Structure 1
Amino acid sequence: MHDGQTANRRADAAQAAGAEGDLWVFGYGSLLWRPGFAYAERRIARIHGYRRAFCLRSVRYRGTPRAPGLVLALDRAPGAWCDGAAFRVPAESAAEAHAYLNHREMDEDSYLETFHEIELRDGGRVRALCYLMNQAHPHYAPLPLDEQARIIAASVGPAGPNAEYLHNTVAHLRELGLRDPELERLDEMVRALSGARQGA
C-alpha cells in the first residue's frame, strides 16, 4: 500500500475514534464468529434503524454466479434495531483492522461503509465502523422468508455451504445471549429443508 493510501486509512479510522483513540467495529453476522482482526474487548451493542437480514446475493463466498446464495446485511428499516457485538480495536491496530475489513467487505460495493452511533448494553454510546446494505446494488434481494430458506438450503460457494453461515450466526448469537426470532425461524426452515433433501 502506498504511503498516501496508508495515511488515508489512518485518517478514515480516526473518524471513528473514541476518547482513547480506539476504533469500534459493529458486528452482526460472520464478524461474530470470524472477526479476522485483533481486538481488545467485545461488548454487546445495538444499532437502531436497521435490521439483520439475508438480503444480499452472494456469488463469491456462499454461492456462485450461476446459483447465488444469500448473506447477511444491515438493511435500513425505520423503527427497527439489531443487536450484535461491538469490537474495540486499540488505536495502534486501527488502520490495519480497517484495511482488512474494507478488503473483506467492500470488494463489490454491496455495502456502504459508515461510522454510526451504537448503544453499548452496559451503558454509553460509541461511534462504530458499520457496513450497511447498499440498496442500490444489483445484488440487493429483499425476499420472503420461505424463498430465503429455499436458497440458503441449496446454495454452496467457495467459503462453504450457505446453511453453515446461517447456523453459525444463530449459534453465536445464542452464545452471546442474543435472540433474533426471524433468524431462528429461518434456521428451523433451512434445517427442515436440508433434512428433507437428505431423506429423499
Structure 2
Amino acid sequence: MDSVNNICQNCNELWVFGYGSLVWKNADFEFESSVAGFLKGFKRRFYQNSIDHRGTEKFPGRVVTLIKSDDQNERVYGMGYKISNDKIMKVLNHLDYREKNGYERCETFFYPINNEQLKKKTIVYVANETNPSWNSDHDLHSIARQVFKAIGPSGDNISYVYNLCNAMREHFPNHYHEDRHLFELEKLLKEMKEKASE
C-alpha cells in the first residue's frame, strides 16, 4: 500500500474500508452506501495500543491494525463505505482526526463480497510498527490480559473485541472462522471472564 497525499482528485466517489469498530458501529461520517467485502493480502491483528478510545495513556487498550500477509490472496473481511465526491475532504479530515493515534491513510482495493469483480479503489487506515502506539508484544495471552483490564472514553476493551466478533459472524457467516487471531482472542477473554466470576 502507498501513502495517499492527493486523494481521488478526478473521481466521483471514494470508498473507505473499515475492519475494526466500523464493522459493527454506525459510521460517524456521511456516506452514500455500505457493503460487506474484503481486502486481499493482509491480516487483522491486535498490535496497536489504544490510549484515546479503548484505553488510556496510563493503561492502554488494544485495537486492530493490518499487517501484510505472505499470501497475497489472504483476506481481511470488513465494511466498505462509499463517499460521494462532494463529501470526500470532509470525511477524510474527520477520519484523520479519529485515527490520529498512530494510523495513516493508505490506498488499496476493496472487493464487495456480492460482486468481487467490481473492485474499488479504497482508503484504509493502517498503524504500522513505526508509530508510537505500536505494541511489539504479539503474544495472544498478553494481548488478552491487556484487553481484559482496559477501559477508555469509547468503552471497555472487551466490548470492542466481542462486538467485532459478533459483527463478523453476522456479516460473514461463511468466512469469519478464517480470522483465527480474532476468535482465539475472544476465546481467551471468555475464559478469563468465567474464571474471574468463580
- Per-residue CA deviation, residues 139-163 of structure 1 (Å, 9 max, x unaligned), is 2124111111111111111221110
Matched, 1:173 2:168: yes
1:67 CA displacement: 1.5
Q: Which has the higher helix share?
A: 1
Aligned to 1:6: none
Matched, 1:30 2:25: no
Counterpart Cα distance in 1 of 2:92 and 2:56:
27
Matched, 1:46 2:45: no
Q: Over aligned residues, Cα RMSD in angstroms?
A: 1.9
Question: Which 5+ residue runs of structure 2 have no aligned equivalent?
Answer: none
Alignment of 1:129-144 (within 5 A): 129-142=123-136, 143-144=138-139
Counterpart Cα distance in 2 of 1:103 and 1:94:
14
1:134 CA displacement: 2.0
Q: Which runs of 4+ in 1 moved over 6 A?
A: none
3-state DSSP of counterpart to 1:118:
strand
1:70 CA displacement: 0.4
- Per-residue CA deviation, residues 168-196 of structure 1 (Å, 9 max, x unaligned), is 11111111124023211211211111222
Q: Which amino acid aligns with 2:162?
A: H
3-state DSSP of counterpart to 2:30:
coil
| Percentage of pairs with the same residue | 24
3-state DSSP of counterpart to 1:98:
helix
The TM-score normalised by the length of structure 2 is: 0.85
Contact 1:54 1:70 in 2 (8 A): yes
- Per-residue CA deviation, residues 31-82 of structure 1 (Å, 9 max, x unaligned), is 1122211222222222122211110011222112222110111122321431
1:83 CA displacement: 1.4
Aligned to 1:99: 93
Matched, 1:66 2:61: no
Contact 1:76 1:133 in 2 (8 A): no
1:84 CA displacement: 1.2
- Per-residue CA deviation, residues 86-125 of structure 1 (Å, 9 max, x unaligned), is 11112222222111111101x23x1121121222221321
1:23 CA displacement: 1.1
Counterpart Cα distance in 2 of 1:43 and 1:31:
12
1:22 CA displacement: 0.8
Matched, 1:78 2:70: yes
Contact 1:153 1:191 in 2 (8 A): no
3-state DSSP of counterpart to 1:14:
coil
Counterpart Cα distance in 1 of 2:167 and 2:15:
20
Q: Which amino acid aligns with 1:70?
A: R
1:126 CA displacement: 1.1
Aligned to 1:164: 159
Which of 86, 89, 95 pairs up with 2:83? 89
